A and B are shown apart, each in its own frame.
Chain A
Amino acid sequence: MTKFIDLTLSGISDGAVYAAVALALVLIWRATRIVNFAQGAMLMITTFIASAVINAGASYVVGFIVALATGLIFGAVVERVLIRPVEDKPPLNAVIVTLGLYTLLVAVAGMIWGNQPRAFPAAFSLQGYKVGGTTLLFAPNDTFIVVVVVVVAILLALLFRRTTLGLQMRAAAFAPEVARLLGARVGRMFTLGWALAAVAGSIAGVLVAPSVFLGPNNFDPILISGFVAAVLGGLDSPPGAVIGGIVLGLALSYVSGYEGSALAPLAALVILVIVLMVRPGGLFSVARERRV
């Protein structure tokens, strides 16, 4: 029973990180119908920058904020410079561009910071809470992770549901031409979508770095999990991404706890294949009427 509680708690913490990566992928998918394979590399770069800032003597908070700010700018620049020219081209072009960006960023990070993984500080203690003599597999830092991701999800929900900016972003995503005819600057909404996605990614990077260490390829498994979580949630829905992340986190935690951690990556892919076969629209897809 203790083991079950432990696995559940650590699954929620892992799942929160997957949810943040899934949010990044979903925001970009919604805005521009592109799967951003460079997402893992982009959040790797912003985490390296945060690490450099912290190593230079700044506090964790400053490092975190720098990661968010560079993520915002990075996402916007990538959209304007690399993605804009392929937006109205066949989807494969965008896939190749993001894969190319991934390769480029990983190589550049290796050149600048080296390929040897390094430690990244955690915001709070990694020592698990003690309850009645036993130590839980859930530390104050895990609380921090979950709270941050929940806050991000709520802020995004408020942005999309309550503000005119969010309304324009949704309109631009669903019907770009109609949105333009109503005066929305669709190009800017796409840029903003990418920028916000990169921020969500940066957050995931900083949160997960203490446990996976910081290196050019260390975030690749996180991207895969994030992708599975996004597909679980329907790829189109931010709440779906969060729930998908948590569900996946729990599933992987149970698999590695009861069956061995070597099976976890395999389990993620099995879940992906099953979801795509059984419910390609995601677990939370609503049957949507399509115009003919």
Chain B
Amino acid sequence: MLAVDGLVTEYGPVRAVDGVSIEVPEGSVTAVLGANGAGKTSLLRTISGLIRPTAGTVTFAGEDITSLPVEEIVRRGLAHVPEGRGVIGELTVAENLRLGGLWRRAGAAPVEEIYELFPRLEERRGQPASRLSGGERQMLSIGRALMARPRALLLDEPSLGLAPRLVAQIMGMVRRLADSFGLAVLLVEQNARSALSIADRGVVLSLGRVVADQESSALAADERLRHAYLGF
């Protein structure tokens, strides 16, 4: 569904992403792990078109989307949930969701479906998103991305700043989304343990390069790699 090949992204003289190749098949979760500054967020931003790569290609559903503008990529069904829960605090919960559904592809999710998935959001639909708790914001930004009924989901650190119980809930939700909607999920996480617990594959980045790309169970069992890059 989503394939990245030899991707290179540079900020001036700094190479944030250095020849990364990853494949995310339909209905699967690929976790991208690594320390701060490993290039995880840059990778996602390059895939969704927010930054232009200097080399390499991004293919989505068989189409080369490397040089398309962000808006076009989104409209093709690739949703990016940015880091720091990119809800728009000045808008209400319902407005945030409506915004996500503007470019829904044919036969897409009505807002009720999202409320069914996240009942908390329905209770708070009329409130400004700035009043939500951290976990609710994360639900809102994921729910908002789902409004467009995407085929692939880029998730940037959904566990950031959440309590362990909430992290487990969100991760479980991500797994169910991949299983029941056939979503291709690219999950960027620092919380390697919980990400690997639901991912099919794990990719470890270090200084912009892929240093490991394995089944997640194999990755979790590889003690040397865990100690060197994942810190658990």
Contacts and interface: CB of A to CB of B under 8 A. Distances in A.
Contacts of A183: 71, 74-75, 102-103, 148
Nearest to B147: A182
B158 interface: no
Nearest to B95: A167
Interface string B109-153: 000000000000000000000110000000000001000100000
Given A171-B88, A291-B84, A181 B70 contact: yes
Nearest to A292: B84
B99 A180 contact: no
B65 interface: no
B50 A180 contact: yes
A164 B80 CA distance: 21
Nearest to A165: B102
A171 B129 CA distance: 12
A270 B213 CA distance: 66
Contacts of A180: 50, 70-71, 74
A180 to B, nearest CB: 5
A289 B84 CA distance: 15
Given A181-B74, A182-B74, A174 B84 contact: no
A178 B103 contact: no
Contacts of B131: 289
Given A168-B99, A171-B99, A185 B90 contact: no
A253 to B, nearest CB: 34
Nearest to A180: B70
Contacts of B70: 180-181
Given A168-B99, A171-B99, A289-B130, A181 B89 contact: no
A182 B91 contact: no
Contacts of B80: 181
Interface in A171-228: 171, 174-175, 177-185
Contact of B90 (A164, A168, A181, A288): A288
A292 to B, nearest CB: 10
Given A167-B98, A182-B74, A183-B148, A177 B50 contact: yes
Interface in B79-97: 79-80, 82, 84, 86-91, 95
A170 interface: yes
A168 B144 CA distance: 14
B84 A170 contact: no
B48 interface: yes
A289 B98 CA distance: 22
B50 A167 contact: no
A181 B99 CA distance: 10
B167 to A, nearest CB: 20
B39 to A, nearest CB: 19
B10 to A, nearest CB: 19
B202 interface: no
Nearest to B81: A181
A184 B50 contact: no
A185 B71 contact: yes
A291 B75 CA distance: 28
Interface string A267-289: 00000000000000000000011
B27 interface: no
Contacts of B98: 164, 167
Given A171-B88, A182-B74, A183-B75, A177 B82 contact: yes
B90 A174 contact: yes
Contacts of A184: 71, 99, 102
A175 B85 CA distance: 12
Interface in B41-81: 48, 50, 70-71, 74-75, 79-80
Contacts of B148: 182-183
Contacts of B100: 182
B108 to A, nearest CB: 12
A211 B66 CA distance: 58
B133 to A, nearest CB: 12
Contacts of A179: 88, 99
A175 B131 CA distance: 17
Interface in A71-89: none
A215 B58 CA distance: 57
Q: Which of B86, B100, B103, B144 has the most CB of A within 10 A?
A: B86
11 contacts: A164-B102, A167-B91, A167-B95, A177-B50, A180-B70, A181-B70, A181-B79, A181-B82, A183-B148, A289-B89, A289-B130
Given A174-B88, A183-B148, 5 more contacts: A171-B88, A180-B71, A181-B79, A182-B144, A182-B148
